[in-house]
Amino acid sequence: MKKPQNIRVAVDAVVFGYEQKKLSVLLIKRGVEPFKGSWALPGGLVLEDESLETAVQRELQEETGVTIDYLEQLYTFGIPGRDPRNRVVSVTYFGLVSPNHFKISADTDADDVEWFSIDKLPNLAFDHDIILKTALQRLKNKINYQPIGFELLKKEFPFSDLENLYQTILNRKIDRRNFRKKILSFGILTETDKIHQPSSGRPAKLFKFNAKKYKELEENGFHFEIKFA
């Protein structure tokens, strides 16, 4: 005789933040058991009448005050015992934003919400450390084949800001000369006639991302790809 199925579906959101050469992740402090008082990813159970996408947006907004137009589905985690209360399968999502675009505030099941440096993380509830590691690896992989992150830069930016974005997310030094040559060869950056004057160092020309040009290239079979030795 087959046992009756009693599986619940949840959603969790891994929201990465980038600014000033720092990569962080948005975490909530749980206000209820299990793991009350522990830090965790925002998320919760999917309601009967909502889609997965609606559920993750709702949980994120309720627990952190953050609203993001687009979150990409990451992976489904469903090992038995990952939640001590019930058999729970979590469909996870991730996104990359600029933290200064949001005013965070905890509510519902969250007692607190905070941005944590990816290098200084607390112990996480459930299997959220595994989820976070999976999301971070996906982010590192994706930035090599898709120009994500341009929206995190100012509309017009010195090329060094783009270099810093890549170096921060990949957590490694890049060959600046080859990187610049490769990026400019795609033709998706437009050089402006403006000059950036840093507090120290040499002046630099400003660029802007040409999203229309990238879209045209993509439709014609263009593949953005950055390879590092």
CATH number of the domain at 154, please: 1.10.10.10
- pLDDT tens for each residue of 149-207: 888 898 999 999 999 999 999 998 888 889 999 899 999 999 999 998 877 778 899 99
Residue 92 lies in a domain: yes
Residue 94 lies in a domain: yes
Where does a domain end: 109, 124, 142?
A: 142
β-strand partners of 209? 189
Q: Are residues 187 and 157 in the same domain?
A: yes
User: Which domain, by its residues, includes 197?
Assistant: 150-219
Where does a domain end: 107, 142, 177?
A: 142
HSE-up of 147 (CA within 13 Å, CB side)? Answer: 25
- pLDDT tens for each residue of 34-77: 999 999 999 999 999 999 999 999 999 999 999 998 899 999 99
Inter-residue contact 208 to 190 (CB < 8 Å): yes
Alpha-carbon distance 42 to 171, whole Å?
25
Residue 103 lies in a domain: yes
Alpha-carbon distance 119 to 23, whole Å?
8
- pLDDT tens for each residue of 78-97: 999 999 999 999 999 999 99
Residue 227 lies in a domain: no
Predicted local confidence at residue 181, as pLDDT: 92
**Spatial CA neighbour of 93 closest among 150, 33, 61, 135:** 135
Where does a domain end: 85, 116, 142?
A: 142
| Structural domain total, the chain | 2
